[in-house]
Structure 1
Amino acid sequence: MSKPAARMRLAEAAFALFDERGYEQTTVDDIAECAGLGRTTFFRHYRSKEDVIFPDHDRLLDLIRERLATSSHSTALVAVSDAVRLVLLHYLDEGDLARRRYALTSKVAALRDREIASVARYQRLFREFIADWMGDPTESASLRAELMAAAVVSAHNHVLRRWLRGESADPVAEVDEAMSEVLALFPTSRPGPGDTAGTTVVAFRTGQNLDALLPSLRQLVEGGAVVER
């Protein structure tokens, strides 16, 4: 039996028992027995029964780092969007398993706490990348990086939860649209190595009146750019 097959059998057994008995009442030995495997095999794949529930966040974080590392200063925001899509696609590939996890974590407080901690790791990674991209060590820039990273993670989670609840027929298209909205809010930063000075134009659709938008747009535009009506 291949390791992936054993890993999936353990996951299926675990969720079946969680549904039948409840999370707290299910033990590692119960999961191994239900899967027809030994306790040693369980710990070869998972460190605890919690690890059966959650995806391999370390691997996902590595994938994000790899994608971000391939970007240049001028393609950084594209890399952020691509990284978000990578995470979403991982959940989509899990299919029903992701939905069962969502249902379980909504009922078990300890699992919600772990999920919150995992989200914080993603946000920290994006914040560090965005802060480096901005190239501004000031406190105000640090705050902007934090807010921007939070917006990136919130956009992803909004689309993911819609899909988990069966409300999204095309989550990939939705996350791309959501990221376009988020990245349109990003301020321009200092030119990076090899970049030339110029004008950055960001276009997005909104239902707001232009007069109401102009104050916010002026705050986002740097370098004396002119907003034309």
Structure 2
Amino acid sequence: MSRASTRDRLAQSAFALFDERGYEQTTIDDIAERAGVGRTTFFRHYRSKEEVIFPDHDRLLAAIRERLAGSTHATALAAVSDAVRLVLLHYLDEGDVARRRYALTSKVPALREREIVSVARYQRLFREFISDWMGDTGRSAPLRAELMAANVVAAHNHVLRRWLRTESADPVTEVDEAMSEVLALFPFPSPPSVTDDSGATVVVLRTGTPVDALLPALRRLMDHGPEL
């Protein structure tokens, strides 16, 4: 049996036992026995019972960091939207496992606390990126970066929970629309000055949001951009 199939079998066995016996009453030995493997094999794939439940946050955070690092000042906001979509797609790919996790964390306080810590890690990553993107724009800059990051994470979680509750038929479109709403809440900092200011720069961002809904953000960009 391959490593991937063993890992998946352990996860499926764990969730089945959590449903039958409850999270607290299920042990690592129970999970290993249900999966037909030994305790040592369990620890080759997971460090703890909790780790069976949660996705690989370290890998997701690394993917987000890589996407953000590949952006420029002009494409930073598009990179934020792409990073949010990347996380959502991971949960969508998990399918039923993501929904079972959601049900479980809603009932077990210890798991809910771990989830809160994980969300804070995502928010910190976005806050640091947004702070660098905005630059040193006064005493309020750290607060604005924190507020923007919090709204980015809140928009993602709002759409994700709707999908987890089977309330959203098209979560990808919803998250794109939600991010357009979030970005429209904040002023855009002026891009770094360049030696040749005789032309105009146009940035194209694909979105499912109607043009009319984007106009307030575009007007805000023009208001805060460099004077001609």
Over 3 Å counting, the alpha-carbon distance change for 1:34 and 1:200 in structure 2 is: same
Structure 2 residue aligned with 1:205: 213
Q: 1:131 corresponds to which residue?
A: 131
CA contact (8 A) 1:188 1:221 kept: no
1:141 aligns with 2:141: yes
Tell me, yes or no, if structure 1 residue 222 matches structure 2 residue 224.
Answer: yes
* Aligned partners of 2:191 and 2:225 also within 8 Å: no
- Hey, what does 2:206 align to over in structure 1? none
- Count residues in correspondence: 216
**1:221–1:113 Cα change, 3 Å:** farther
Shift of 1:222: 2.8
> Residues 104 and 116 of structure 1: is their aligned pair in 2 closer, same or farther, counting only changes over 3 Å?
same
Classify the secondary structure of the residue corresponding to 2:75.
helix
1:76 corresponds to = 76
Q: Is the 8 A contact 1:187 1:221 kept in 2?
A: no
Match of 2:7 in 1: 7
Per the TM alignment, residue 221 of structure 1 is displaced from its structure 2 partner at its CA by 4.1
Over 3 Å counting, the alpha-carbon distance change for 1:196 and 1:64 in structure 2 is farther
> In structure 2, what is the equivalent of residue 28 of structure 1?
28
Deviation string 1:19-60 (CA, Å, 9 cap, x unpaired) is 000000000010000000111111111110000000000000
Residues 131, 142 of structure 2: 8 Å contact kept: yes
Distance 1:156 1:32 in 2: 34
Instruction: Give yes or no for the alignment of 1:19 onto 2:27.
Output: no
1:135-175 deviation digits (Å, cap 9, x = unpaired): 12633011000000000000000000000000000000000
Give the aligned partner of residue 64 of structure 2.
64
Q: Match of 1:140, as an amino acid?
A: S
- 1:191 shift after superposition: 1.6
Whether the 8 Å contact between 1:88 and 1:156 is mirrored in structure 2 is yes
Q: CA deviation at 1:187?
A: 1.3
- The equivalent residue for 2:183 is 183
Residue in structure 1 matched with residue 46 of structure 2 by the alignment: 46
Please list the CA deviations of residues 175-215 of structure 1 after superposition, one character each: whole Å capped at 9, or x if unmatched. 011011111122111323759767999x6539xxxxxx9xx
The one-letter code matched in structure 1 to 2:81 is: S
Q: Distance in 2 between matches of 1:69 and 1:177?
A: 23
Alignment pair present for 1:105 and 2:113: no
Between the aligned partners of 1:118 and 1:64, the Cα distance in structure 2 is: 14
Unaligned 5+ runs, structure 1: 207-212
In the TM superposition, what is the alpha-carbon distance from 1:93 to its structure 2 partner? 0.2
Partners of 1:152 and 1:99 lie apart in 2 by: 22
User: Does the 8 A contact of 1:27 with 1:49 survive in 2?
Assistant: yes
Q: TM-score, normalised by structure 1?
A: 0.87
Matched, 1:174 2:174: yes
Change over 3 Å in CA distance of 1:224–1:90 after alignment to 2: closer
After superposition, the Cα gap between the structure-2 partners of 1:56 and 1:181, relative to the gap in structure 1 and judged at 3 Å, is same
Cα pair distance change 1:136/1:38, threshold 3 Å: same
Q: TM-score, normalised by structure 2?
A: 0.87
- The one-letter code sitting in structure 2 at the alignment partner of 1:222 is H
Q: Is the 8 A contact 1:73 1:193 kept in 2?
A: no
The amino acid across from 2:168 in the alignment is S
Once the 2 structures are TM-superposed, how far is the Cα of residue 108 of structure 1 from its aligned partner?
A: 0.2
Q: 1:106, 1:112 within 8 Å by CA — same for their partners in 2?
A: yes
